C-alpha cells in the first residue's frame, strides 16, 4: 500500500486487511445489487460540492462558474462587474441546489473579489487560507462532539480553481506565492483565463512555461502524482497533467452557429465557441471537475487535506487520540496553523500512530 496515502475512507472499496485471501463463489449471489442500493441512498441524500474561484478581477471567474453549471449561479449582478474594486479581499459564498435527472447537487461557490488588485498585494492570500482552514475547523468541531450529527454538513472547499492571467510569458511572483501556499491546503486546479486572447501556439508555449514554473517551485496541483492509486489512475491522470493548466473561455450567451445554439462570444471576426475543443479547453475542465473527478476531489480533501489539518490541530493541543474516547482540544489558536506538504505530515502521522501503538 502506498505509504503516502492516509487511512482509507469508509466508502473505499479496498479490503480492510491486505492479507484476506479471495474466496471463490459457485453461483450468482447478487452482490452487484449493492451498487443499486448505494445509488438509491445517494439519490436520496444528494451530493455536496464546494468550489472556490481565485484570481484577479476581470478574469471571468463568475462567468466561468455560470458556464460550468449552466445556471445563473450569481442571481444578482455578477460580483465585481460595475462595482468598485473592494479595498480588502472579501470572500463571498453562494449556495444552490442543482438537480439533473433526479440527482441533487448542493453546490457552494466561493468567490474572491479584490484578490491581487491592490498596489501592494503582500499577504493577500491570508484571508483565503483563513477561510479554508475555518471550514476544516468547523468540520473538526462537529466531528469531535460526543453526539454528532448523522451527516456532518460539509463546507470544506473541495476544489480551488486558480485563474492565471493570459500574459503569455510565465507565472508571476504573486501567482507562485499563492499557489505554493494553496497547494498544501486544498486541491488546486490552475486554468489560463480569458484564453481567447492567445493564439494556439502562444497557448502551448505559455502552458509549457507554466508547467516548468510549477515543477521548479515544487507546486503540486490536482491531480497530484503522489495520490495515483494504480496504473489506470496514473495513465488517466498523466493525460490530464499534460494539459494542465487548461486554456478556458467562459460565456453565458448563446449564438446560432451552423444551425446549433452554442454558448460563445461573438466578435467581429468570428464566434468563439466555448464547448468546441478546437477553440478552448473548457470541456476538459468541466469533465475534470464534474464528470470524472468530483468524487476523487472530495476524497482527497477528506482523506488528505482535512487529515493534515486535523493532525496539526491535535499536535498543537498536545493531546493525541487514545482509542475510541473523544479528544480534549484546546481552543483554536489565532491564525491558521501552518500545515507542511501532504507527504511530510502523512509520514509523521504514521510515526505518531506507531508510537501510540507501542504505548499500549
User: Among residues 71 and 276, whose Cβ is nearest to other proteins?
Assistant: 276
**Which residues does residue 66 pair with via DSSP β-bridges, in sequence order?**
none
Q: Is 271 in the site for other proteins (CB under 8 A)?
A: yes
Q: Is 96 helix (H, G, I), strand (E, B) or coil?
A: strand
User: Among residues 5 and 172, whose Cβ is nearest to other proteins?
Assistant: 172
Region near other proteins per CB under 8 A, out of 68-76, 188-196, 289-297, 326-334:
188-196
Q: Using CB under 8 A, which of 171, 183, 248, 284 touches other proteins?
A: 171
Q: Is 140 helix (H, G, I), strand (E, B) or coil?
A: helix
User: Among residues 232 and 258, whose Cβ is nearest to other proteins?
Assistant: 258
Contacts of 149 (CB under 8 A, 6+ apart): 142
The CA distance from 152 to 147, in Å, is 11
User: Among residues 58 and 341, whose Cβ is nearest to other proteins?
Assistant: 58
Region near other proteins per CB under 8 A, out of 20-28, 235-243, 273-281, 350-358:
273-281
Minimum CB–partner distance for residue 58 and other proteins (Å): 4
Beta strands at 270-273 and 260-267: parallel, antiparallel or unpaired: antiparallel
How many residues in the shown chain lie near other proteins by CB under 8 A? Answer: 48
Convert 65-81 into a string of H (helix), E (strand) and C (coil): HHHHCCCCCCCCCCCCC
User: Among residues 226 and 271, whose Cβ is nearest to other proteins?
Assistant: 271
Q: Using CB under 8 A, which of 43, 145, 200, 235 touches other proteins?
A: 200
Beta strands at 103-111 and 92-100: parallel, antiparallel or unpaired: antiparallel
Q: Is 215 in the site for other proteins (CB under 8 A)?
A: no
Contacts of 344 (CB under 8 A, 6+ apart): none
Q: Using CB under 8 A, which of 266, 322, 344, 347 touches other proteins?
A: 266
60 Rama sector, left if φ>0, alpha if ψ -120 to 50, beta otherwise: left
Q: Is 77 in the site for other proteins (CB under 8 A)?
A: no
Q: Using CB under 8 A, which of 22, 173, 259, 324 touches other proteins?
A: 173
Query: How is residue 87 written as a grid cell?
Result: 479595498
User: Among residues 182 and 311, whose Cβ is nearest to other proteins?
Assistant: 182
Over the window 54 to 73, marking each residue x when it contacts other proteins by CB under 8 A and - when it does not, the resulting string is: --xxxx--------------
Q: Which 115-144 positions form the footprint of other proteins (CB under 8 A)?
A: 117-122
Minimum CB–partner distance for residue 265 and other proteins (Å): 6
Cβ atoms within 10 Å of 46's Cβ, excluding its own: 13
**Angle between helix 126-143 and 306-316 (nearest 10):** 80
User: Among residues 79 and 342, whose Cβ is nearest to other proteins?
Assistant: 79
Q: Confirm if 254 and 261 have CB atoms less than 8 A apart.
A: yes
Burial 192-208 (b: 16+ CB within 10 A, else e): bbbbbebeeeebeebbe
Query: How is residue 38 written as a grid cell?
Result: 448505494
User: Among residues 269 and 360, whose Cβ is nearest to other proteins?
Assistant: 269
Over the window 283 to 322, marking each residue x when it contacts other proteins by CB under 8 A and - when it does not, the resulting string is: ----------------------------------------
Q: Is 194 in the site for other proteins (CB under 8 A)?
A: yes
Tell the burial category of 170 from Cβ atoms under 10 Å away from its Cβ (0-12, 13-18, 19+).
middle
The CA distance from 329 to 311, in Å, is 12
The contact set with other proteins (CB under 8 A) reads 56-59, 80-83, 85, 117-122, 165-174, 176-177, 193-194, 196-197, 199-200, 213, 216-217, 265-273, 276, 278-279
Amino acid at each position: 500500500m502506498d505509504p503516502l496515502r492516509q487511512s482509507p475512507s469508509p466508502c473505499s472499496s479496498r479490503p480492510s486487511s491486505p492479507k484476506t485471501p479471495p474466496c471463490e463463489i459457485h453461483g450468482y449471489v447478487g452482490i452487484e445489487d449493492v451498487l443499486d442500493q448505494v445509488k438509491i441512498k445517494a439519490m436520496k441524500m444528494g451530493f455536496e460540492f464546494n468550489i472556490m474561484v481565485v484570481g484577479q478581477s476581470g478574469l471571468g471567474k463568475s462567468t466561468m462558474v455560470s458556464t460550468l453549471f449552466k445556471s445563473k449561479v450569481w442571481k444578482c449582478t455578477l460580483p465585481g462587474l460595475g462595482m468598485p474594486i473592494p479595498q480588502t479581499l472579501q470572500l463571498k459564498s453562494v449556495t444552490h441546489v442543482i438537480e439533473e435527472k433526479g440527482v441533487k447537487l448542493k453546490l457552494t461557490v466561493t468567490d474572491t473579489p479584490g484578490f491581487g488588485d491592490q498596489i501592494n498585494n503582500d499577504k493577500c492570500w491570508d484571508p483565503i487560507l483563513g477561510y479554508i482552514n475555518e471550514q476544516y475547523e468547523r468540520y473538526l468541531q462537529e466531528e469531535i462532539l460526543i453526539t454528532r450529527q448523522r451527516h456532518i454538513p460539509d463546507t470544506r472547499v473541495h476544489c480551488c480553481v486558480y485563474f492565471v492571467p493570459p500574459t503569455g510569458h510565465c507565472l508571476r511572483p504573486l501567482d507562485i506565492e499563492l499557489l505554493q501556499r494553496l497547494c498544501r491546503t486544498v486541491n488546486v486546479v490552475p486554468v489560463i483565463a480569458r484564453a481567447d486572447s492567445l493564439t494556439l501556439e502562444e497557448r502551448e508555449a505559455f502552458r509549457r512555461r507554466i508547467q516548468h514554473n510549477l515543477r521548479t517551485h515544487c507546486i503540486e496541483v490536482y491531480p497530484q502524482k503522489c495520490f495515483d492509486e494504480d496504473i489506470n489512475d496514473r495513465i488517466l491522470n498523466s493525460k490530464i497533467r499534460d494539459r494542465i493548466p487548461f486554456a478556458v473561455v467562459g460565456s453565458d450567451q448563446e449564438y446560432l452557429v451552423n444551425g446549433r445554439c452554442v454558448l460563445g462570444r461573438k466578435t467581429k471576426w468570428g464566434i468563439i465557441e466555448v464547448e468546441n475543443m478546437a477553440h478552448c479547453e473548457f470541456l476538459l475542465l468541466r469533465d475534470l471537475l464534474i464528470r470524472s473527478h468530483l468524487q476523487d476531489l472530495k476524497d482527497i480533501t477528506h482523506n488528505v487535506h482535512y487529515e493534515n489539518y486535523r493532525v496539526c490541530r491535535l499536535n498543537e493541543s498536545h493531546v493525541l487520540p487514545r482509542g475510541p474516547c473523544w479528544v480534549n482540544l484546546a481552543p483554536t489558536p489565532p491564525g491558521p496553523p501552518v500545515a507542511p506538504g501532504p507527504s511530510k505530515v502523512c509520514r509523521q502521522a504514521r510515526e505518531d500512530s506507531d508510537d501510540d501503538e507501542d504505548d499500549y
